[in-house]
Every structure is written in C-alpha cells, then in structure tokens.
Amino acid sequence: SVNRGETHIVEPGLPEMVGQVVRSGHLRATMQPEEGDVYLIVVPTPFRGNHEPDISYVETAIRSVIALLKKGNLLIIESTSPVGTTDKMKQLVCAERPDLEGAVYIAYCPERVLPGNLLYELEYNDRVIGGIDEASTQKAMEFYTLFVKGNLHKTNAKTAEMCKLTENSSRDVQIAFANELSLICDKAGINVWELIELANKHPRVNILQPGCGVGGHCIAVDPYFLTSEFPVESQLIAKSRELNNYKAFWCA
C-alpha cells in the first residue's frame, strides 16, 4: 500500500505526507532490506512470559542488513531495549563481518513520539543520542540534525538505553502512587479526587490522577526491562508495576 501512496496507519497528516513523498520518488517500500547509507532499526521489543525482554526482533533486523553494510555506514537502533543491547548488536555485527570492526558507526536513539501527534513530535521533540563510541555519537547527531528541530543531547549508548527505560518507569511509579492513594482513600472514606486537588495546591507537589492501571505498549512493558536485569535494585519499580496491574482487577 505504501508504494501506492497509501498507509494503513491512522495518524493525522500521515496519508498526505506518504502520498507526497511516494509521488516525488523519495519513498519506496520493499519486503527485503536494500543498500543504504543509514539503517534504522525500529522493531517491537516485547517481553516473554516470565517478563524477560525479548530482543530477538532487533537481532533479526540487524542480521538482515549485516551483509549490506559498508565502511562508513551508520546503524541506529530506536527500539526500546535493555541496557547493553547496542553493544551486543555491535558484537554481532563484528562477529559476522570482522572487516567492519571500527569501520561502521553504531548508535542508539530511542523514539519519543505520541500516537496521534507523531509527525509533530518526530520533528520537534528533543532526542537523546548515544553511540558505541564518540565517532558514532557524532555521526548519529549529524543524521538527526537533518530533520529534528528539537534539541539533540549527546551521551553513550548505555545511558541512552537507560534513559528511555527511566522515562517510562518514572511515569509508571508516579501513576502507581496515585493509584495507591485511591486504594487508601477508598478504605478511609475519603474523596481521592478532592484530596489530590488539595495536595497539588502545594507548590512542589504534582500528584497524577488515579485510574484503572496502565495500558499501552510502553509504560506497561518497559519497567520489566529493568526489573528483569536488576531485580534487587529495582524493587520500587517492580512494586509499582505490581500495583498498577492489580488496580485494573480492583476496578473490574
């Protein structure tokens, strides 16, 4: 459908944009990877039944382009990934293509877009960019400068990976606090909405609104990437995930 200038994704402004760039010859979709200068890996990273992150889609995507890589190419992972994934993928590339050791640039830059406002946020949101080395970071910065009007923040690959997990885990913990308040208030006979409104009158307090847990592909998933690899150190994150899951059953 893309090559007809159509899209199956419901996103404001996207059908018009896709149609325009296809007609102008700037976009063409294929079922198999083709040679390029920059390769973006943007695939799902779900978790398995035991809540361990599954990076097999990332690995499969990397393997699909290894044979195409040339000296000076840039490989960027945007998929939400456990800490250390970019380094692992670098090792995979070098194991399969020893000739590319130190000859390709590899970086991580997590996507930060909200469905329904994707095109705007893709262009104007700040981005965190971390390479496997300084040269890779700089090369990736140069690439994103071509279309991102938000600020670009340099770091290393591990910190960039951790940043994405931190963003969503932080929101999960904040939501869990609001949900826990609602459970306490229900038992105490207090109106939680009034309570939060009054508490937020404090200039340094900003409690979120409680709800029926957490849904979606990010906030309800990404914290497990930390609790799986750092179970002892991430007990608050794990408890928040447990509470938000419970809240859905409580509401039902």
**Pairwise CA distance, residues 25 & 23, whole Å:** 5
Q: What angle do CA 78, 83, 85 make, to 5 degrees?
A: 60
Helix (H) or strand (E) segment spanning residue 77: strand 74-77
Partners of 99 in the β-ladder: none
Question: Is residue 204 packed enough to be buried (19+ CB in 10 Å), middle (13-18) or exposed (0-12)?
Answer: exposed
Q: Find the catalytic residue in 94, 185, 212, 218.
A: 218
**Pairwise CA distance, residues 205 & 27, whole Å:** 47
Q: Find the catalytic residue in 90, 139, 164, 247.
A: 164
**Pairwise CA distance, residues 249 & 213, whole Å:** 9
Q: Is 154 a catalytic residue?
A: no
- What one-letter code names the amino acid at 209? Q
Give exposure, 49-82, as e/b (b: 16+ Cβ within 10 Å). eeeebebeebbebbeebbeebeeebbbbbbbbbb
Active site residues: 164, 218
